[in-house]
Structure 1
Amino acid sequence: MIKKILGALLLVVSVGASPVMASEGGHPWDVAPVKINDQAALQNGAKLFVNYCMNCHSASLLRYNNLTQIGLTEDQIVENLMFTGKKVGDKMTIAMGHNDAKLWFGAAPPDLSLMARAKAENLGQPGTDYIYTYLRTFYRDKSRDLGWNNLVFPNAGMPNPLWERQGPVEVTFTDVHEVEKEDGTKEWRETISKVDTAGYKSVVSDKVLTDFKGHASSHAEITYLDKEKQAQYDKDMADLTAFMGWMAEPQQEFRKTLGIWVLAFLFIFFGVMWQLNKSYWKHVK
């Protein structure tokens, strides 16, 4: 009986640890280099969030005084992160109404309180990977009304609020597809297009793939032209992502620590029960 229980527990652990491919069929997510317990990173992320994200997005499930959990005092919060005369115990909401936002943007910008959890793949990549990749794959697109596009979320209904920090970027699209010729036969072609820093797209290569045995595919790669700016931008986006990951579940570090203690208790308790079971049944033939 005990062997069956151990086998079941091992099965649950192995299933929970099995990786699942995230964003299948779309742009791959980068692994976000975030540390939820790094208070300096969380404080920088909070500053970026308030200054760049809260123009349109709210975080209504969080109160300003919750930021004391990342090492800030209430005076620091009021002085550096509050600009509308709110009280430190108020929720992190914005002045823009839902109906106005829908009228101006076509859809109201979502509340970001739980975005990191909402974007998490089931048993796969965490939502922080999605956010980190999304923030770093904006590019100019003259075909869009807002002038911007995104590789992770194509045709996203928002511009890039961090474009000055990001610096100039180019995007290269590689598309492998099958086309039908005039005589009815088919051939495989590889088309490479590039979007320049101004947002104009042009075809730079279109060639026939002879003896191609693969399948249709598309790939996009973003290139930062200012490498020095890119390094700082990547760090800032990691900090912003870490803050959004913390915001989605402020008690997650405590939850993980508590989980370790609970498992340790269950392990010790199992050992005691094992010995008690042996002692109880030792005289039974």
Structure 2
Amino acid sequence: MTKKFIATLLIGLGLLGLQGGAQANEGGAPWDKFPTYKMEDMAALQNGAKLFVNYCLNCHQASFMRYNRLHDIGLTDQQIKDNMLFSGGKVGDLMRTTLDPKQAKEWFGAVPPDLSVIARSRSGERGSGADYLYTYLRTFYRDETKATGWNNVAFPSVAMPHVLWELQGVRVPKIEEIEDPHEHGLKTHVITGFDQVTPGKMTPRQFDDAVGDLVAYLQWMGEPAQSERFRLGVIVLLFLSVLTVFAWRLNAAYWKDVK
């Protein structure tokens, strides 16, 4: 019985490892670095929360986050009611969507995932979860062969449409044929950039900045107390350092006569 349990456990861990590896290596493009300074910028976090509510919360939900937790990024109850709550909910409600899961599965092929901890769950060998999201949200392109009409460099054949296309505009990929590094004589196609077909409401720089705000909010939402935890950690380490010096000198004073 014990051997059977251990074997089952090892198989399960192996499958989890394979799944995690598949997620970490999803797509062929390197992950761009998320601008981490935005995590300390309240204006960026507030704008990210606004983008999240307007563009993400229609299909996805954040069922582990309450609207009133936005107090931590400087929003008042009135600001939350005016800019975040559009369905007559309460400030203490969870960030849930009204989208029916059955309908979502019919439309998209799968129920859109909960985004409460998406930034923490997507980290891998290529970078942090924030790096992945920052790359993913900026690398959509038009692909008429897909059901949604869109594809993505970081997540090929993704079922999600490009919800931010009005801000970014419509782009098509620049494809280059190169030698396959793993098999001699075989050619492979890689995306080296994009051509802008129609402009968006934002310039490329403005769009990248807005996506940075959105990802900063998603990262913050995964652990709202992260910044406070870091600050407390520094204080505790400083306190322990000072305490260590006092303990060392006190120990020397106690043992000087014995020696």
TM-score normalized by structure 2? 0.80
Provide Cα deviations, 1:228-281, integer angstroms capped at 9, x if missing partner: 621111111011111111111111110010010011011112212222333344
1:167–1:224 Cα contact (<8 Å) kept: no
Measure how far apart 1:188 and its partner are. Answer: 2.3
Partner of 2:65: 62
Report the 3-state secondary structure (helix = DSSP H, G, I; strand = E; otherwise coil) of the residue aligned with 1:220. strand
The counterpart of 2:77, out of the listed 63, 74, 77, is 74
Quick one: which of 217, 233, 238 aligns to 1:243? 217
Which residue of the partner structure matches residue 278 of structure 1? 252
Match of 2:127 among 114, 125, 128: 125
Matched, 1:110 2:121: no
Match of 1:33 in 2: 35
Query: In structure 2, what is the equivalent of residue 267 of structure 1?
Result: 241
CA, structure 1 residues 89+224, in 2 after alignment: closer, same or farther (shift >3 Å)? farther
Structure 2 Cα separation of the partners of residues 49 and 240 of structure 1? 6
1 or 2, which has the higher helix percentage? 2
Do the aligned partners of 2:24 and 2:122 also contact (CA within 8 Å) in 1?
Answer: no
Q: Note the 1:46-195 alignment, pairs <5 A.
A: 46-121=49-124, 125-174=127-176, 175-177=178-180, 188-192=185-189
SS of 2:203's equivalent?
Answer: helix
**Aligned equivalent of 1:222:** 193
Alignment partner of 1:188: what SS?
coil
Residues in 1 aligned to 2:181 and 2:75: alpha-carbon distance in whole angstroms: 57
- Which residue of 44, 48, 63 maps to 2:47? 44
Q: Is the 8 A contact 1:131 1:241 kept in 2?
A: yes
Partners of 2:247 and 2:101 in 1: CA distance: 57
Q: Distance in 2 between matches of 1:125 and 1:284?
A: 55
| Structure 1 Cα separation of the partners of residues 248 and 39 of structure 2 | 38
Distance 1:222 1:62 in 2: 36
Give structure 1 stretches of 5+ with no counterpart: 1-21, 180-185, 193-218
Q: Is the 8 A contact 1:41 1:239 kept in 2?
A: yes
Report if aligned partners of 1:61, 1:92 keep a CA contact under 8 Å in 2. Answer: yes
Mapped contact 1:224–1:230 kept (Cα < 8 A): no
Identity percentage over the alignment?
A: 47
Q: Computing the radius of gyration over CA atoms, which structure comes out larger, 1 or 2?
A: 1
SS state at 1:168 partner: strand
Measured in 2, the distance between the counterparts of 1:283 and 1:173 equals 80
| Partner residue, 1:203 | none
The offset of 1:120, in angstroms, is: 2.2
**How many residues are treated as equivalent by the alignment?**
231
TM-score (norm 1): 0.74
Q: 1:94-113, CA deviations, whole angstroms, 9 ceiling, x for partnerless residues?
A: 11122332232211000101
